[in-house]
Structure 1
Amino acid sequence: MEGKNSINKVTAGSLLITLGIIYGDIGTSPLYVMKAIFGDAPIQKNLVIGAVSCVLWTLTIQTSLKYVWLTLQADNNGEGGIFSLYTLVRKLKKRWLIIPAIIGGSAMLADGIITPPISISSAIEGIKIYYPDLQTIPIVIGIIISLFLFQSYGTKTIGKFFGPIMLLWFLMLAAVGISKIIEMPEIIKAFNPYYAYLLLTQHPEGFFVLGFVFLCTTGAEALYSDLGHCGINNVRVSWIFVKTTLALNYLGQGSFLLLHDDIQLKTFENGVEFIQNPFYLMMPQWFIPIGIVIATMAAIIAAQALITGSFTMINEAMRLNLWPRVLVKYPSIIKGQLYIPSTNWLLCIGCILIVLHFKESSNMEAAYGLAIVMCMLATSILLTYFMILKRFPKPAIIGFVLIYSIIEISFFIANIEKFHHGGYVSILVAGLLASVMTVWLVGKQIRKSYTEFVKLKDYIDVIEDLSNDDSIPQYSNNLIYLTNAQNRNEIESKVIYSILYKRPKRANIYWMLHVNVIDEPYGMEYQVKKFSDKIIRVDFYLGFRIAPKISPLFKKVLEDLSACGEFNKLSTYHSLRKNQIMADHKYIIIEKVISYDNDLPWYEKFVLDCYAFIRKRSLSEEKAFGLDNSSVKIEYYPLIIDKSVPDLVLKRRKDKTD
């Protein structure tokens, strides 16, 4: 609780850190929102005021009310994000809630592929004000590659500069916005929601312009996901400042367009289409180069936040059995910071392909938003059940469902129109990620359903006899099996088969280790059950953000047991014990091999084939659990699916010599 209270404490330093970590995505939205709304549309008074009105009310209703006020209450011991929310509501025992969790998580990861290209491209394209023929693609790709190359070193050093840079960014948004509002104060009418209605009825895109308006709030989900780094109080206090600066900048862009209603944002330079950005156009000429530099740094920070968030989500998905095991590294001692090489380079390749495919940020806007609105819908479903779990008043729950169903379904329908213009990319990426999660989850469930468990107490006597049988060479002092048996009194039949039948393994102590994933993100506990002096089971209770490194965890358990006299850590060999040599350990990992000659339902065969394909390309079990290869033995055990044996009419042929 002390750690939770410390990150919730509001100080100038904590608020500065929050600016750098939380608001990169939503904070850079002024770079492309107004440009997206007015790319092809005429600059008319009602449309301009209506566009700003839509943006302001979207930030208020969707970001301020839903996320900053309500969703942040659904923190899991200080941690946020859709997977953290799922771990809270799964207590309701509604198995289908895993579906919105998978959809929302996949959509967030898809957003991590699109956000860096659109943010960085929008910033860099400001240079075209001076050099219209400049090819920005190589510059954008160069920045993206450099950003991903840096990930393996962690963000400890550059993180110190995130806060000050984002503070400078938000102050710039406010200052530039105010300078234009003073010139055209009529833009204040945008606070009247009636003008938002006019936008929807008079804009050439009609209702579907909401798809571009929605871009202003896409970072709200990332704001919730990064909650654990800063704490609720810091997020809520800093949001007041952030929303104010965003509102001032959007009002400023609107003022500029009202002052220059004859401007054509879509232009052609040397036959090439280019959409001018009102974000840069409203700046004084002398300040534009400075604005481009600051915008580029803010865009890089926004990209960094999404990349770091993707690492966290993949790590959580692994712990929730929604993703195959992959290598996880910890580049610094900062809590929650990790580096996943496979995810890093897949994101990098994805970002580069997005840049090469769409070329300009104006084209990327079509792909952006569709996936994240799906994530918001999924969050709303889970949040509804969280409100039920926490016994919110029924009128409040019904009101939430009605209001946000209308708002988010409207955004979804508006974004669907983007599908053929690029939205298919985000849906394709999210669909692929969701398929991997589904196959991994269902594949594990199918394999578990065919796993046979036996009562361990039925084998205590025979295992103890084996341990005391000097006629059999000792296999190891401590023989360790990893078990999936949830029932502490049971064990997989394959473990008994390994001990007794597949070369009988004599050991001094047989350990059965089981890892339970608990809802508390950073919980670390263990429990010991002794079946006899020779058979001991250890259950680890680890939070969904804790890496299950079995070797150091088990070593800690042995130290505790040795300290209280429950375990002798010295070798049983007399010569080694005499010289105070520690007992040796041997881990046995049993790989289940499925025979497909059995009559499985077609869908189970398909899922298990896909599961096997993914598993071959994922991290091995011994590496995933941090085991030393020299102390690991891998055995292959047939997972018998169909035990029915056909009646075989087999006769013995008599030998002619008989």
Structure 2
Amino acid sequence: MDPPFSPLSISREFKKETWRHTILLSFQSLGVIYGRLSTAPLYVFGTLDPEDIDPNKDLYELFSFVFWTLTIISLLKYTLIVLRADNDGEGGTFSLYSLLCRHAKVGLLPDDKSGNEIKPYHGKSSCNRSVESMARNAIKKCKASHYLILFLALFGSCMIIADGVLTPAISDVPVTSSCAILVCIFTLQHYGTHKIGFIFAPIIIFWLLFISGVGLYNIVHYDSHIIYAVSPVYMYRFIRNIDFERCKLLGSVVLCVAGSEAMFADLGHFSKKAIKVTFVCLIYPLLVLSYAGQTAYISKHLGDSKDVLHLSESVPKRNIYHAFTVLSLFASAVGSQATITASFSIINQCQAFGCFPRVKVIHTSDKIHGQVYIPDVNWILMVLSLAITIGFRDIVQMANATGLAVISGMLVTTCLMSLVIGLYWGKSLLLSACFLVIFGSVEAVYLSLCLLSFYKGAWCLVLFVVLSMIIMLSWHYGTMKRYQFDIENKLSVDWLTNLSPGLGVSRVPGIGFIYTDIVTGIPAFFSHFITNLPAFHEVLIFISFKSLPEPYISPSQRYLIGRAGPKEYKIYRCIVQYGYCDCIRDTDDFEDRIIQCIGEFISREEGDFEALTSPEEKMIAVGRSMADGSPLIPLTRADSYIGAASLATSGALSPFGDPSESSCPPARRKKVQFVLPPNSHRMRMSVREELQELVDARESGTAYFLGQSHLTVRKGANFLKHFLIMMYVFLEKNCREPPVALNIPHAALVEVGMVYII
């Protein structure tokens, strides 16, 4: 029933990760994650004005800031601490938010509202569940803190996406060449992380070895005393004599850690061990050598030329200058890969949490589900990057905007991480506060310095973030309101079962799949359908998709099956639980798997083991292999038309007409026929009869019922509500169809429109 490759096998694979596998992933990560960090030496000193630098003291002090910023933020914060907060192999801002939703109960998402209706699946937690801290209780009860945490998660995500727009645009090459490179980079994205990593990794390796070799030469040849500048005393000297002009110098220093956030955001594409090993053993020491060598060269040549601060000037011999030019061109192109990949990961998580419009997500690896590609987002990022490149044409302004995006995203991660330390890891509040103060203070200082250059390019970042936040908040608000409307207007199952033929309601052959967001009761759109067209199928299956704040849900916990109403009415409920990295509906055999699960439920119901209780009905987790075999055996027929169990075929609802006359002919695909196993005579008579009725209903055909919501704002509502709903309606009309609508034959689809007054 389940695919041969499951998320559980992913977990085991990472747990048993060999050094050979680690080295392979480390090699690939060089071409994806570390391109941005590796090309930072091109811009840290190159975006400064030589006239603002005092050659006698500023250079050593600036290098000291570069060294300690790289050490504190990239090495200590991300490599040693933040990477430990992975959410089953997934990283990024929303991964931290996911942990808080699960273990601190701060979720505001629609799926969290049903916590009292069904027992959700919980992953392992490292914190003590028996005694909750006062802080956890206080945050859980304070609704304002929930909104603040969600806002931080969305804001941090916007910053990572903005970095994915700005970073590809930064280049020293002419505008025409830069645009051509951008088009090539974004065109390659559909090949996936695995292939791109192998293509780009050699470029970054050669680049790092080249600039570190040049740096070592410059240290030995020009100023070997630069090594003493790693002492924090030089930072103290700089701060002691700080003024407005010297503050502007530090604004570019933050670029040395640009790309550090990608180490965590791209965690789902690789493994934690591979990322750590690569940074500690290769990236960090080689970058320190490069920065030290460039500083040593500048200290002896400052004032010789206007371009002395550019890394290209520190290349010792002109005959290898051309090699540097070619390498820097390719390395700059590869440098944008980390932020593009991180944008895909973050948007994939946001979409699963109901905070981003539906887009198509393609999993590019059959081994690591975190490796995703989003075509629509890819082309939007390309267009925006081209617009930035053509519009600014100034590397300094783009660097200012990038620096602000980088440090803002890092500060959000620090805030959320401090909550994770206290609320998820179960550490003391003092340790959580220390993390926030130590790293947050450093990043807050850099943030204030970056704001000094707001009018020099950073303003475009604000426009992008405002637009992105409007999209995310509008979608989240509309999704929540629609779900709340469904909850408030649902009817009990008794309303449906009490309808009798004497009231003009008839049962017709076949199976009706009713897709709904609610997990109990009858959705308003289906009751609206029955009221106006009084007939429904002899077997009804209410299917709900429940997104849980976890990357993956094991197959044994994915399907929850129960009855809705008395047994003789043959009304079932199926709740499909999935994580934000699971892909469950993009298959043609989804409904067949549901039928198999219901068959397993019918055979297991008598035992009543592993039961989950809800206010309305009993739910049983199915999906595991049974000791005595499957209660339903699927047989694949030859290619045939999949017809609908249309209500019109029974004569009950003639307004639908004959499906054969539909303008959309039925899809031609393989149809699965179910039969009872040879040992079915050993089953209880009632179980065998119900299974046979399910098989017969499947043979009669299937129909699919979807609710089509039309949101409108109540009269007298304020402007903000009007604006958010208007944006949601616009986005819903222009985004991808809901997952439940995928691969459903048009001839079997019945959409029921409902007006939602918000």
Q: Distance in 2 between matches of 1:327 and 1:626?
A: 14
Aligned position for 1:47: 58
AA aligned to 2:12 is E
1:89 aligns with 2:100: yes
1:639 aligns with 2:756: yes
1:346 aligns with 2:380: yes
AA aligned to 1:259 is K
Q: Distance in 1 between matches of 2:492 and 2:321?
A: 73
Aligned position for 1:489: 520
Q: Distance in 2 between matches of 1:283 and 1:477?
A: 80
Aligned position for 1:501: 531
Aligned position for 2:286: 245
- Range with bigger deviation, 230-239 or 548-557: 548-557
1:187 aligns with 2:226: yes
CA contact (8 A) 1:256 1:278 kept: no
Aligned position for 1:650: none
Q: Which runs of 5+ in 1 are unaligned?
A: 125-135, 267-274, 642-658
* Cα distance change on mapping 1:597 and 1:521 into 2, 3 Å: closer
Aligned position for 1:317: 350
AA aligned to 1:175 is G
Q: 1:265 aligns with which of 300, 306, 321?
A: 306
1:403 aligns with 2:438: yes
AA aligned to 2:728 is Y
Instruction: Give the CA deviation at 1:160.
Output: 1.8
Aligned position for 2:177: 139
Instruction: Give the CA deviation at 1:101.
Output: 0.1
CA contact (8 A) 2:268 2:371 kept: no
Q: Secondary structure, in 3 states, of the residue corresponding to 1:154?
A: helix
Q: Distance in 1 between matches of 2:739 and 2:417?
A: 37
Q: Secondary structure, in 3 states, of the residue corresponding to 1:326?
A: coil
Instruction: Give the CA deviation at 1:147.
Output: 1.7
Q: Distance in 2 between matches of 1:519 and 1:622?
A: 18
* Cα distance change on mapping 1:418 and 1:583 into 2, 3 Å: farther
Q: Distance in 2 between matches of 1:470 and 1:582?
A: 26
What is the TM-score normalised by the length of structure 1?
0.86
Equivalent residue runs for 1:367-382 within 5 Å: 367-382=401-416
Equivalent residue runs for 1:597-612 within 5 Å: 598-612=715-729
CA contact (8 A) 1:622 1:629 kept: no
Deviation sequence 1:593-619 (CA, Å, 0-9, x none)? 244464434432222112112212111
Q: Distance in 1 between matches of 2:22 and 2:721?
A: 55
Instruction: Give the CA deviation at 1:558.
Output: 2.1
Deviation sequence 1:559-596 (CA, Å, 0-9, x none)? 3444787587899999x999998452222111222444
Q: Secondary structure, in 3 states, of the residue corresponding to 1:478?
A: strand
Deviation sequence 1:464-486 (CA, Å, 0-9, x none)? x46x9999583x7221122111x
1:4 aligns with 2:14: yes
- Range with bigger deviation, 356-365 or 418-427: 356-365
Equivalent residue runs for 1:103-502 within 5 Å: 103-118=155-170, 121-122=171-172, 124=173, 136-183=174-221, 184-200=223-239, 201=241, 205-240=245-280, 241-266=282-307, 277-331=310-364, 333=366, 335=368, 336-389=370-423, 390-451=425-486, 452-462=488-498, 465=500, 472=506, 474=508, 477-485=510-518, 488-498=519-529, 500-502=530-532
Q: Distance in 1 between matches of 2:552 and 2:302?
A: 55
CA contact (8 A) 1:529 1:536 kept: yes
Instruction: Give the CA deviation at 1:315.
Output: 1.4
Q: Secondary structure, in 3 states, of the residue corresponding to 2:334?
A: helix
CA contact (8 A) 1:111 1:426 kept: no
Instruction: Give the CA deviation at 1:460.
Output: 4.5
Q: Which runs of 5+ in 2 are unaligned?
A: 1-10, 107-145, 604-630, 636-643, 651-672, 676-694
Aligned position for 1:654: none
* Cα distance change on mapping 1:18 and 1:505 into 2, 3 Å: same
Q: Secondary structure, in 3 states, of the residue corresponding to 1:491?
A: coil
Aligned position for 1:127: none
Q: Distance in 2 between matches of 1:251 and 1:638?
A: 65
* Cα distance change on mapping 1:182 and 1:511 into 2, 3 Å: same
Q: Distance in 1 between matches of 2:718 and 2:527?
A: 29
Instruction: Give the CA deviation at 1:319.
Output: 0.5
AA aligned to 1:282 is V
Q: Distance in 2 between matches of 1:12 and 1:154?
A: 19
Q: Distance in 1 between matches of 2:419 and 2:158?
A: 20
- Range with bigger deviation, 417-426 or 43-52: 43-52
Aligned position for 2:45: 34
* Cα distance change on mapping 1:565 and 1:597 into 2, 3 Å: closer
CA contact (8 A) 1:41 1:204 kept: no
Instruction: Give the CA deviation at 1:230.
Output: 2.4
CA contact (8 A) 1:327 1:624 kept: no
Deviation sequence 1:86-110 (CA, Å, 0-9, x none)? 1001231232211100000011100
- Range with bigger deviation, 236-245 or 145-154: 145-154
Q: Distance in 1 between matches of 2:570 and 2:284?
A: 63
CA-based RMSD of the aligned residues comes to 3.0
Deviation sequence 1:337-361 (CA, Å, 0-9, x none)? 3332221111011111111122132
* Cα distance change on mapping 1:309 and 1:253 into 2, 3 Å: same
Q: Distance in 2 between matches of 1:11 and 1:312?
A: 21
Deviation sequence 1:220-246 (CA, Å, 0-9, x none)? 111111112222222222212210000
Aligned position for 1:590: 707
* Cα distance change on mapping 1:288 and 1:556 into 2, 3 Å: farther
Instruction: Give the CA deviation at 1:75.
Output: 0.6
Aligned position for 1:557: 594
Instruction: Give the CA deviation at 1:431.
Output: 1.8
Q: Distance in 1 between matches of 2:674 and 2:585?
A: 28
1:513 aligns with 2:513: no
Aligned length: 612
Instruction: Give the CA deviation at 1:393.
Output: 3.0
Instruction: Give the CA deviation at 1:455.
Output: 4.8
Q: Secondary structure, in 3 states, of the residue corresponding to 2:533?
A: coil
CA contact (8 A) 1:115 1:303 kept: yes
Q: Distance in 1 between matches of 2:232 and 2:563?
A: 68
Q: Secondary structure, in 3 states, of the residue corresponding to 2:304?
A: coil
Instruction: Give the CA deviation at 1:177.
Output: 0.9
Deviation sequence 1:398-451 (CA, Å, 0-9, x none)? 221222232111111101112100001112112211111111111222233333
Q: Distance in 2 between matches of 1:195 and 1:340?
A: 46
CA contact (8 A) 2:48 2:309 kept: no
1:13 aligns with 2:24: yes
CA contact (8 A) 1:446 1:604 kept: no
Q: Distance in 1 between matches of 2:446 and 2:401?
A: 14
Q: 1:530 aligns with which of 550, 563, 566?
A: 563
CA contact (8 A) 2:25 2:274 kept: yes
Identity percentage of aligned residues: 25
Q: Distance in 2 between matches of 1:7 and 1:24?
A: 24
